[in-house]
């Protein structure tokens, strides 16, 4: 089968690979119908996240179950399914606490040896371990483009908002209007936020944010703090989502969040950074961090997408063939698209 592999920083290839086979009774094999290119893939593409050359990449997929082990009970051969971006065991200390993202046996698709040596989903077929936890049937009538978001980008946005503690009537600022940030705005609106404030530097993205019901503010040309104050009676937002992951953004998040509020840092941090703990502490903020717990939330996210309460369709800006993967990565790296969906 054909599969997209990492070769070197800035270089991916479409190569031939053997079709996957079931290795355990709770494995499934999925024939991929659609697979997305995601911001996390770019970290690999740019060489910031190191993986082995030749490793199959990609972690967003919708497809059809072509084989399922005896212990797979939630889906069956022939089912149209979507996958979460990682697996979890369902039985360890962390899974029993509902913290599936921290599962001791979690493996992330397409992220090389450091995250579990699980070949990726940008391929004709993908092997899915722990299929009961990782796969879900696509509700009838839902398109591939939209289903693709449930186990990754929209699930991450849902986590950022809901585990960030945003509740009905709250004001929520979202710093960064990439796919996760834009989906977070949708989630915030859909769960009852009174105000959603979108901050970015790209006009097109701010326009999408506005179309999602957010009040859009340009990071440098607009007045972020003034807008927040105006919409929150001077208090600051209840929850601020850092959908970027850098210290200036974290700093701004702390500034625009009200006393006793929450900063939900869903953007990736990997290093030591300078943080204004003085501001954070005096305001008695809570900081939530880490990779999203999409397995815990995928049923809710799917239900909301199926009900039309959430709709990621406007984010899909380009469809390409799997064979065009090198061009797709180049376009995505150049920010020419919010979401590229590839089909084998």
Strand partners of residue 65: 30
Closest CA to 160 of 40, 297, 339: 297
Strand partners of residue 87: 107
Within 5-24, the residues that bind a second copy by CB under 8 A are: 24
Closer by beta carbon to a second copy, 94 or else 149: 94
| Minimum CB distance to a second copy, residue 129 (Å) | 11
Q: What is the DSSP string of 182-236?
A: HHHHHHHHHTT-SEEEEEES-HHHHHHHHHTT-EEEETTTS-HHHHHHHHTTTS-
| Minimum CB distance to a second copy, residue 339 (Å) | 22
Closest CA to 138 of 296, 305, 319, 295: 305
Closer by beta carbon to a second copy, 36 or else 236: 236
Regarding 260 and contact with a second copy (CB under 8 A), the answer is: yes
Within 111-140, the residues that bind a second copy by CB under 8 A are: 132-133
Regarding 229 and contact with a second copy (CB under 8 A), the answer is: no
Closer by beta carbon to a second copy, 89 or else 331: 89
Residue 153 to residue 307: CA distance in whole angstroms: 18
Closest CA to 259 of 279, 235, 283, 233: 283
Regarding 43 and contact with a second copy (CB under 8 A), the answer is: no
List the structure tokens of 247.
Answer: 């210290």
Closer by beta carbon to a second copy, 207 or else 282: 282
Closest CA to 2 of 113, 107, 125, 102: 125
Within 159-178, the residues that bind a second copy by CB under 8 A are: 162, 167-171
Within 186-215, the residues that bind a second copy by CB under 8 A are: 187, 190-195
Closer by beta carbon to a second copy, 261 or else 344: 261
Q: Which stretch binds a second copy (CB under 8 A): 4-12, 39-47, 200-208, 268-276?
A: 268-276
Regarding 27 and contact with a second copy (CB under 8 A), the answer is: no
Task: Choose which of 8, 289, 321, 336 interacts with a second copy (CB under 8 A).
Answer: 289
| Other C-beta atoms lying within 10 Å of the C-beta of residue 259 | 10
| Minimum CB distance to a second copy, residue 268 (Å) | 7
Within 304-323, the residues that bind a second copy by CB under 8 A are: 304, 306-307, 309
Residue 312 to residue 225: CA distance in whole angstroms: 28
Q: Which helix (H) or strand (E) holds 45?
A: helix 39-45
Closer by beta carbon to a second copy, 276 or else 335: 276
Regarding 286 and contact with a second copy (CB under 8 A), the answer is: yes
Regarding 91 and contact with a second copy (CB under 8 A), the answer is: yes
For 146, 150, 301, the CA distances from 306, given in Å and listed in that order, are 9, 10, 8
Closer by beta carbon to a second copy, 162 or else 322: 162
Regarding 71 and contact with a second copy (CB under 8 A), the answer is: yes
Supply the angle between the helices 294-306 and 153-162 in degrees, to the nearest 10.
100
Closer by beta carbon to a second copy, 221 or else 274: 274
| Minimum CB distance to a second copy, residue 2 (Å) | 31
**Residue 100 DSSP class:** G
For 209, 217, 257, the CA distances from 200, given in Å and listed in that order, are 10, 7, 17
List the structure tokens of 171.
Answer: 């004001």
| Minimum CB distance to a second copy, residue 33 (Å) | 23
Task: Choose which of 93, 223, 230, 248 interacts with a second copy (CB under 8 A).
Answer: 93
List the structure tokens of 151.
Answer: 């186990």
Q: By CB neighbour count within 10 A (0-12 exposed, 13-18 middle, 19+ buried), where does 145 fall? A: middle
Q: Which stretch binds a second copy (CB under 8 A): 35-43, 53-61, 65-73, 119-127?
A: 65-73
Closer by beta carbon to a second copy, 268 or else 331: 268
């Amino acid at each position: 089968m054909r599969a997209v592999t990492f070769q070197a920083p800035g270089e991916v290839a479409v190569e031939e690979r053997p079709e996957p086979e079931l290795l355990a009774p709770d494995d499934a094999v999925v024939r991929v119908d659609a697979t997305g290119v995601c911001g996390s893939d770019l970290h690999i593409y740019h060489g910031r996240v190191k993986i082995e050359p030749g490793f199959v990449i990609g972690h967003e997929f919708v497809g059809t179950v072509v084989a399922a082990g005896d212990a797979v009970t939630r889906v069956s051969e022939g089912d149209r399914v979507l996958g979460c971006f990682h697996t979890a065991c369902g039985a360890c200390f962390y899974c029993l606490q509902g913290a599936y993202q921290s599962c001791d046996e979690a493996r992330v698709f397409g992220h090389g040896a450091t995250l579990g040596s699980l070949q990726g989903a940008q391929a004709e077929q993908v092997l899915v371990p722990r299929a009961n936890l990782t796969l879900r049937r696509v509700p009838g009538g839902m398109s591939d483009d939209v289903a693709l978001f449930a186990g990754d980008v929209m699930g991450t946005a849902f986590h950022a908002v809901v585990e960030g503690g945003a509740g009905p009537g709250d004001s929520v600022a979202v710093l960064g209007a990439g796919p996760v940030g834009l989906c977070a705005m949708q989630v915030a609106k859909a769960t009852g936020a009174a105000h959603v404030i979108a901050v970015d530097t790209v006009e097109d993205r701010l326009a999408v944010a506005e179309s999602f019901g957010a009040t859009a503010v340009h990071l440098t040309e607009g007045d972020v703090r003034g807008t927040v104050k105006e919409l929150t009676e001077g208090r600051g937002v209840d929850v601020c989502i850092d959908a970027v992951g850098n210290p200036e953004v974290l700093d701004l998040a702390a500034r625009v969040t009200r006393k006793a509020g929450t900063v939900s840092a869903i953007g990736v941090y990997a290093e030591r950074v300078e943080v204004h703990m003085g501001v954070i502490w005096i305001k008695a903020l809570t900081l939530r961090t880490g990779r999203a717990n999409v397995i815990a939330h995928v049923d809710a996210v799917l239900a909301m997408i199926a009900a039309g309460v959430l709709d990621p369709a406007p984010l899909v800006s380009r469809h390409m063939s799997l064979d065009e993967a090198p061009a797709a990565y180049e376009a995505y790296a150049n920010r020419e698209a919010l979401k590229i969906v590839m089909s084998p």
